[in-house]
Amino acid sequence: MIGYVTIGTNDPARSMAFYDAVFAPLGYGRTFEGGGWAGYGPDGKKEGFEIYLATPENGKEATFGNGSMLAFKAPSRAAVEAFHAAALAAGGKDEGRPGVRGDSAPPFYGAYVRDPEGNKLCAYFKG
């Protein structure tokens, strides 16, 4: 079971503004910030699955992985749409508008974006 995920950033302030906007529709809020780090948790609490933004500890530039993506479960289709809109408004790039993908049951409804650092993100709802 995954306990937390760290997303590298070269500009913590820009990344925090982006993730504050895109996590709000998914029910995640900032739990702390400082020293080049910021944390996010469900309802802004440090419990359950946590997500961290951080400048790399080795002092080198943060880069994104080719073929890597983080997918966040959304509570509804409307939340997927709000995530996508918030990402674009906060400086993200569209990688796939909200919509049904594939023919699974229940339907997979997702949206894809890249954050300002180039990390690929997805918000999805099954139903």
Q: Are 14 and 116 in contact (CB under 8 A)?
A: yes
The domain ranges of the chain are: 4-58+69-126
CB atoms under 10 Å from CB of 52, counted, come to 17
CATH classification for the domain delimited by 4-58+69-126, as one of 3.30.1490.440, 3.10.180.10, 3.30.950.10, 3.30.930.10: 3.10.180.10
Beta bridge partners of 41: 29
Alpha-carbon gap, residue 11 to 24, rounded angstroms: 20
Q: Could you report the per-residue pLDDT of 58-74, keeping only the tens digit for each?
A: 888 888 777 789 999 99
Contacts of residue 45, Cβ cutoff 8 Å, sequence gap at least 6: 29, 31
CB count within 10 Å of CB 44 equals: 15
Encode the chain (127 residues) as per-residue pLDDT tens digits: 578 899 999 999 999 999 999 999 999 999 999 988 999 999 888 877 889 999 988 888 888 777 789 999 999 999 999 999 999 999 999 999 999 998 989 999 999 999 999 999 999 999 9
- Which pLDDT value is given to residue 99? 98
